[in-house]
Amino acid sequence: MATVARQSLKIGLIPADGIGKEVIPAAKHAIEALGSDIPKPEFYNLLAGFELFARTGEALPNETVEILKNECDAALFGAVSSPSRKVSGYTSPIVSLRKTLDLYANIRPVATVDAGPDGKPKVDMVVVRENTECLYVKQENIISTENGLEARATRLITERASRRIGKMAFELALARPRKQVTIIHKSNVLSVTDGLFRETVRAVPSLPEVAGRYDNVTIAEQIVDSAVYRLFREPEIYDVIVAPNLYGDILSDAAAALVGSLGLVPSINAGDNFVMGEPVHGSAPDIEGKGIANPLAAIRSAALMLRHLGYYTGADRIDNAVNQVIREGQVLTPDLGGKSSTDEVVQTVLKKI
């Protein structure tokens, strides 16, 4: 997304559930610390989440959606405590926002801060996850048969969604040194749905509107179960990974283990006209309110959001500050082996910004 000249940068803040209420303010403070490197930020405090649903019967108020659509340039989303059981009337607000705002790409960079013996990062990949379909269309039903209950789910893969997530992956690869896209699929079993995804993404460089643009990008592919194995055995083989929704969700969370904690991994939900930062971690109800939540993924998500908007200098300042804190290892939350509080980490990052 190209930089747009703005008098101010209007950002929706949606802490939602659990530790989202602790880490989104941290990201806000990091943005405010950038000063003149970005337009003056204006923030809108917005409601969503399962906790809101439990109180009001509404997980994503229309007011939140309308403000995001009509007032905001971008947004930051915290975490949601969606239950593992079916709750009548409830739909995850993050899933709804992705669909409503057409945020079709979930982009999750995963990289180690410390370099390996050759001076190169041990892990440096981006997982590009299609964000709007696959099993996450949530078309499920259950029926009673003579053999007991039978549950079925519809899996949706379309050429349109596969093509545009493929183009997003190729664009990201084009800007990276290695320029490689690995397509993740299971078309040896799911030959129709995964077959369509695989074939459509592979065909992206041949589209008339991008003729020759991706000639320097190498295409690889992996069966999803093999991809998980190789992710842990030899993560250095991956550069940009592109995957359908479910596989991308699993792979990106697994990749977070390679860098020490989900509390370090940022993401953005991106479309053609809007971007929403979102730390990869969940709502972590077990540590909510204890002041030990890791704010770094949320702060990194703010940087990723700014970078997508074209504010590279500000994004670099945030990323460099976070990387310094990690390298020094003196002020870290318990998930990274430290003893510091959320606020202590935030204040250290702000000083370095």
Our measurement of the distance from residue 121's CA atom to the centroid of its chain's CA atoms, rounded to an integer in Å, reads 21
pLDDT of residue 205: 96
Distances (CA, A) of 346 to 112, 320, 342: 20, 14, 6
Comma-separated ranges of CATH 3.40.718.10 domains in the chain: 1-114+259-352, 124-256
pLDDT of residue 7: 77
The pLDDT of 91-115, averaged and rounded, is: 90
Does residue 117 carry a pLDDT above 70? no
For the whole model, what pTM was predicted? 0.90
What tokens were used for 86?
A: 């079916």
Report the chain's mean pLDDT, rounded to a whole number.
93
pLDDT of residue 119: 53
pLDDT of residue 5: 61
Q: Which residues are catalytic?
A: 136, 186, 225, 249, 253
The pLDDT of 137-141, averaged and rounded, is: 87
CATH superfamily of 124-256: Isopropylmalate Dehydrogenase (3.40.718.10)
CATH class belonging to 1-114+259-352: alpha beta
- The rounded distance, in Å, linking the Cα atoms of 54 and 59 is 8
Distances (CA, A) of 168 to 1, 213, 271: 11, 13, 10
Quick: pLDDT tens for 208-220. Answer: 999 999 999 999 9
Does residue 56 carry a pLDDT above 70? yes
